[in-house]
Amino acid sequence: MYTMTEENVFQERFLRLIGEKSLRQVEKETGITAGALPHYGTAKRSPTGEMLKKLAQYFCVSIDYLLGISDDPQPRPNLSAMSNEELVLKLRNLGYDVKPINPEELRSIPILGRVTAGMKNPIEAIEYIQGWVDTDLPGSVEFALRVTGDSMEPLIPDGSIVFVDKSKTARNGNICVVIINGSDAVIKRTYFDPNGVMLRSENIKCEPAFIDRERWESECRIVGVVVRHQVDHV
């Protein structure tokens, strides 16, 4: 049983997540018994542990978030404690395409310094060879960068290497390496608007940043599109 406070938090968050969705559709896709969902939005019935697990998986949130134990819908996983197999499974469960690399097609490209995932402390874009990394990507991908910060997690964790294609045209929603303030480099999802450019993080805790058209044209530019990223296990 839940306390009254826990029930109220669950009901509020459940109704918010349901939004405009059809209850019948959610019941069908989750396998939850027909007719049970309407009661979860009231005090008439509380979900069982198995139902909580199904709802959490369906809405891509944690059970702790549903119950009000945590305010973070997707707590940061301890990536450093995961094996390669566990990390691949985690990313695939989040909907990302994880592909193995063919060793016979590898070539080495330089890691040119670092790029920040956050807007508060952007890194000055100074190119220097920090190291080398093997890749099977095409020749248009000439360099990689090391990511610092957590604003692109869980997709791109702190310390990841991103591979950048300078020849690729940036489209709405692409993850790009962007120069702001004339010399600082950040990595963000980029959305274009007649009045400017919106830079968005993957981390739900980070607010998007809108750069107006005048500032964008005078102080900012796209270095390239991120076409792949990889997590290094030390």
Tell me what pLDDT residue 4 has. Answer: 37
Beta strand 141-148 pairing with 107-116: parallel
Of residues 157 and 19, the one with the higher pLDDT is 157
The mean per-residue pLDDT over the stretch 111-138 comes to: 71
Contact 189, 174 (CB under 8 A): yes
Rounded Cα distance, 115 and 172, in Å: 20
pLDDT value at position 39?
A: 65
Q: Which domains does the chain have, with CATH numbers?
A: 4-67 (1.10.260.40), 103-230 (2.10.109.10)
- Residue 186 in contact with residue 180, Cβ under 8 Å? yes
pLDDT digits (tens, 9 = 90+) for 64-117: 787 777 777 765 556 666 677 777 776 776 666 676 667 777 899 999 877 776
The helix (run of H) or strand (run of E) holding residue 37 is helix 37-40
Segment 51-56 shows an average pLDDT of 80
Collapsing DSSP states into helix, strand and coil, what is residue 188? strand
Residue 199 above 50 pLDDT?
Answer: yes
Residue 199 forms beta bridges with which residues? 190, 209
159-185 pLDDT, tens digit per residue, is: 899 999 999 999 999 999 998 887 778
Q: Which pLDDT does position 112 carry in this prediction? A: 84
> Rounded to the nearest 5°, which phi and psi values hold at 146?
-95, 130
Average pLDDT, the chain: 78
> So which residues are the catalytic ones?
151, 188
d(CA 201, CA 54): 27
Give residue 81's pLDDT. 66
Q: How far apart are CA 30 and CA 220, in angstroms?
A: 45
pLDDT tens digit sequence for 12-26 = 887 788 776 777 777
* 188 beta partners: 176
Of 199, 98, 84, nearest to 151 by C-alpha is: 199
pLDDT tens profile 144-153: 998 988 888 8
**pLDDT value of position 94:** 63
